[in-house]
A and B are shown apart, each in its own frame.
Chain A
């Protein structure tokens, strides 16, 4: 099956530091989605990227889709304790095959 690699698996940052998680595929993607799951919670849809090189922002969150549509990143500027959780990418391949990455667990130290 298709593989979606997400790194890092865990990240601890001091409050106010930046954070980035990466999602990589060996195959070109149709589009990619990002989700956030708070501890004890459920995944919540954040955004979808469709176009090559696309960049979207949501307040302190910046989402990028690579030019080759094989990778994506989520960057959080000046993390806050409310950013704690696991961030998942969900890669969509040709034929509507849809796979979640393993997630990056973010801990923010006050």
Chain B
């Protein structure tokens, strides 16, 4: 256990489905992140939340919608995804926003869009 828990571990969804990814951290961190990891590509930062406020959105398509109801929970709502959205989605947290500290990653959700 890393202190950052992601569910589900695996998800297969059709292009017309709506699903949500969940992330929960038990570390008392104030910043949380969503990353996308595709084969042969660097980790791509999608969203940053600091103290429950979205502070960064890296030109992510609107079919991905984040939600941070409190500093311990982060969701990624998915709808009308495309096959190229298939990837490993990683949640991470850090004590504060930025890179003064290492990030703690969850185990990820392996998403397959069919």
Contact = CB atoms under 8 A, between A and B. Distances in A.
A98 B43 CA distance: 11
B102 interface: yes
B43 A41 contact: no
Given A43-B90, A101-B42, A33 B102 contact: yes
Contact of A43 (B43, B45, B97): B43
Task: Give the size range of A's interface with the partner.
Answer: 20 to 34
Task: Give the size range of B's interface with the partner.
Answer: 10 to 19
B49 interface: no
Interface in A32-48: 33, 35, 41-48
A102 interface: yes
B66 interface: no
A96 B103 CA distance: 14
A74 to B, nearest CB: 14
Given A42-B2, A42-B107, A100 B43 contact: yes
B102 A102 contact: no
Q: Interface of chain A, helix or strand or loop or mixed?
A: strand
A41 B102 CA distance: 17
Contacts, number: 46
A25 B23 CA distance: 32
B56 to A, nearest CB: 10
A30 B90 CA distance: 25
B83 interface: no
A54 B71 CA distance: 34
A19 interface: no
Contact of B45 (A42, A98, A101): A98
9 contacts: A42-B2, A43-B103, A45-B103, A45-B104, A47-B102, A90-B99, A98-B45, A98-B99, A99-B42
Q: Which 3 A-B pairs have the closest CB atoms?
A: A45-B102, A92-B99, A96-B98
